[in-house]
A and B are shown apart, each in its own frame.
Chain A
């Protein structure tokens, strides 16, 4: 167990719908990262938050958004869902800020949310 929790474990929904995935980082971790894992694209970075602020964006669609709350949990919102959004969504957490000059922090992954869009 990594200490990172994600809910729900499974989510089945229809095209055009909107869903929210939730992540709670390890105790003491300030950074949360979201990744999408699909069969054809592998593991891809979506977005990072540090202490409530967006820090970096990767291959995240405009239909997707995220936020990190004062208690440091994070939510990933996926809207206007398409069949191709079906994937495993992982969040990972690490201690630090990502500021340059600071040793890179190890990222620990949560169990993931499996999203199926029908």
Chain B
């Protein structure tokens, strides 16, 4: 089955700096890659996603890039703010008939220091 690895597991940045989180996946047939933000005790919230026919997608301060050849994708957050502090999960939708179940990375705890 699909395996998603996520790095780093923790990341501390100064407010205003950029943060980058990287993920690799194993199943070359995966074609959908969402990123979720989760605050303590709350639900994962979708912040951005990318499909395999696109190399990059941007939404204000957040961008995601995808390299299908290398099977990795990354989340970029610019001009970080304290409210960006949370755990971020990447995910991939594996191959297999009839389902778009998500396989998640282990998460990155981002701390933005004011």
In the complex, A64 has a CB within 8 A of chain B:
no
Report chain B residues within 8 Å CB of A107: 34, 46, 100, 102
A92-107 vs B, Cβ < 8 Å mask (1 yes, 0 no):
0010111110011111
- Interface segment out of the listed B13-21, B57-65, B67-75, B91-99: B91-99
In the complex, A16 has a CB within 8 A of chain B:
no
Asked whether, in the complex, the Cβ of A45 is within 8 Å of the Cβ of B42, the reply is: no
The total of Cβ contacts below 8 Å across the A-B interface reads: 67
Cα distance A18–B43 in the bound complex, in angstroms: 24
Q: A42-B104, A90-B43 are in contact. Are A55 and B34 (CB under 8 A)?
A: no
Report chain A residues within 8 Å CB of B46: 106-108
Q: Which residues of B contact A (CB under 8 A)?
A: 31-32, 34, 36, 41-46, 49, 51, 89, 91, 93, 96-107
Asked whether, in the complex, the Cβ of A109 is within 8 Å of the Cβ of B99, the reply is: no
**A35-67 contacts to B (CB < 8 Å):** 35, 42-45, 48, 50, 55-56, 58
| Additional pairs, 9, CB under 8 Å, beyond known A96-B100, A98-B100, A107-B100 | A35-B102, A42-B89, A42-B104, A42-B107, A43-B44, A56-B99, A104-B93, A106-B46, A109-B45
Asked whether, in the complex, the Cβ of B32 is within 8 Å of the Cβ of A104, the reply is: yes
Interface of B is mostly: loop
Q: A56-B96, A104-B32, A107-B34 are in contact. Are A45 and B49 (CB under 8 A)?
A: no
Q: Which residues of A contact B (CB under 8 A)?
A: 2, 31, 33, 35, 42-45, 48, 50, 55-56, 58, 90, 94, 96-100, 103-112, 114
Report chain B residues within 8 Å CB of A44: 104
Report chain A residues within 8 Å CB of B31: 104
Q: Give 19 CB contacts A-B under 8 Å.
A: A35-B102, A42-B105, A42-B107, A45-B101, A45-B103, A56-B96, A56-B99, A58-B101, A94-B100, A104-B93, A105-B100, A106-B34, A106-B49, A107-B46, A107-B100, A107-B102, A109-B43, A109-B44, A109-B45
Asked whether, in the complex, the Cβ of B43 is within 8 Å of the Cβ of A111, the reply is: yes
Smallest CB gap from A88: residue in B: B41
Q: A111-B42, A111-B43, A112-B43 are in contact. Are A43 and B89 (CB under 8 A)?
A: yes
Cα distance A114–B42 in the bound complex, in angstroms: 10
